[in-house]
């Protein structure tokens, strides 16, 4: 079955960068788009961007343009999300999630989440 396993929790200082990984298994890596969604403590869900692992097409939410970079490594079926110039408001749980190209961009499988703490 589809599984997304994310890297562990991170603690970063303001101004630093964080890179979170999402390793996919249980399906052909190029068959699903992968999205990044974050959730600040006690808050709602915020979509950050999407990557098409087969064609390397990437789209980011305007909110994160210039600060976020999503990449993929097809040899290890892993997608990475790097967020730079971290500020306190970036403290959140970051999730990767899949959607199928043939359907709409709803999220059928999710990673377990990665907690990013931003503190001086």
Interface contacts to another protein, rule CB under 8 A: 35, 44-47, 50, 59, 61-63, 95, 97, 99, 103-108, 110-113
**Among residues 44 and 120, whose Cβ is nearest to another protein?**
44
Q: How far is the CB of 117 from another protein (least distance, A)?
A: 16
Q: How far is the CB of 25 from another protein (least distance, A)?
A: 16
Q: How far apart are CA 22 and CA 25, in angstroms?
A: 10
CB 56 within 8 A of CB 72: yes
Q: How far is the CB of 76 from another protein (least distance, A)?
A: 22
Q: How far is the CB of 57 from another protein (least distance, A)?
A: 12
40 HSE (CA, 13 A, CB side): 8
DSSP assignment of 62-98: GGGTTTEEEEEETTTTEEEEEE-S--GGG-EEEEEEE
**Among residues 29 and 64, whose Cβ is nearest to another protein?**
64
Q: How far apart are CA 51 and CA 44, in angstroms?
A: 22
**Among residues 85 and 112, whose Cβ is nearest to another protein?**
112
């Amino acid at each position: 079955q589809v599984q997304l396993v994310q890297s562990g929790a991170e603690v970063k200082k303001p101004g630093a960068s964080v890179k979170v990984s999402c390793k996919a298994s249980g399906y052909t890596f190029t068959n699903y788009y992968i999205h990044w969604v974050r959730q600040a403590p006690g808050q709602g869900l915020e979509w950050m961007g999407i990557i098409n692992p087969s064609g390397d097409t990437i789209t980011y939410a305007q909110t994160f343009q210039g600060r976020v970079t999503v990449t993929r490594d097809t040899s290890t079926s892993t997608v990475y999300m790097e967020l730079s110039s971290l500020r306190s408001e970036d403290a959140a749980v970051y999730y990767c999630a899949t959607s199928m190209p043939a359907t709409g961009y709803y999220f059928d499988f999710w990673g377990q989440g990665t907690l990013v703490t931003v503190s001086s």
